[in-house]
Structure 1
Amino acid sequence: MSIEQRRQAIRELTETGSHFGGPFYIGPDGKRQWGLTTIWQHVFGDSLKYPRPRYGFPIVADPKCFNWLPVEGAESGVEHKFLGALSERGVWVEMLRLQAGTTWSSTDPKARRITTVLAGSGECDREQISYLSTIQADAGETLGLTAGPEPLELLLIGMAPIVLPATESDQYDLEEFPEEDREPAGQQAD
């Protein structure tokens, strides 16, 4: 859902005499529900489902333990560290490094890419970028980068389009929010 859809839902929900307290929606009758679930139901008319964890423990990739490799098809001075891909959607994480003064552009016909500057400075499509600048390039959109006077290092997260399965998994929590992530018993929302 878009930010505007979310804002509109909040406005409409609170017009009924209800309010949001912390992460909860408190209805006119005083009933509490996880806020995001309420907003989702208001916008889409259907329950939000939370998937069960897919991995038994956190996955920690240490970029220092990966090698810089040339990016296929790019000019000299463009390297990457492929840190991994996850799930059936193929979400991937990699680091990119452009040597000083190097220009590189790429287009992915299917995936949205979120890129954040970790070191150095430069330009993205003639706009200045520096530490923690973040760029979103949608599917089919060209991402054009130029490193400044020092190497430009970036973190890139690629997100393939959402494809709905022909048969939905029965491994989703059908609760409004997973029990283990709920607020401790006895705590009240503000």
Structure 2
Amino acid sequence: MTAPEAPDLHAAVWGAAAELFARNGYPEVTIRAIAARAGTSPALVMKVAGSKEELFHRTATISAPALPDVPVSQLGPALVAELVDRQRRGDLEHLGRAMMLRVNAPDPECVRAKFLGGYVAPLTEVLEGPRPELRAELAVSALLGLATTLRFFESPALLADLDAAEAVYGPIVQQLLDAP
């Protein structure tokens, strides 16, 4: 196996680690698996990363998509529509990734803080009225539930009629955002 050049090596190692940690969780990922995915040796992975835990902290990012550019009164359906569209395309589900990163993380509190900062904080900032943080957390919880049911449990009824799921669930998330 030919090792990638230095800048490419770093990118390959970090990309492989990010993908494997998000898909498999911290305990299941090995330096050997990261090396194989990156096309290099375990020794070079260690040289680039330092340790598995350091590699996890560097690559275990929580990157929530930007909030849809819609009025707050239409945000619930728009958030559900984006989640359903990711499901249709087979794209990475950010909420599911965040959940996988938290499970068995070497520092679960760090992942929790990244999650709250990436998902709840931006939503809280756009909400007006009483208890915006609580309403944001409830809406994110509902979205996480839908994402988990679609991706991890592959719910047959939901997957068979994503349009109906979107039509029913969007207003529910909006109710949580609008709650007094």
Could you tell me the TM-score, scaled by structure 2's length?
Answer: 0.23
Q: Which has the higher strand share?
A: 1
| Structure whose CA Rg is larger | 1
Q: Which has the higher helix share?
A: 2
Which protein, 1 or 2, shows the higher relative CO under an 8 Å CA cutoff with sep ≥ 6? 2
Could you tell me the TM-score, scaled by structure 1's length?
Answer: 0.22
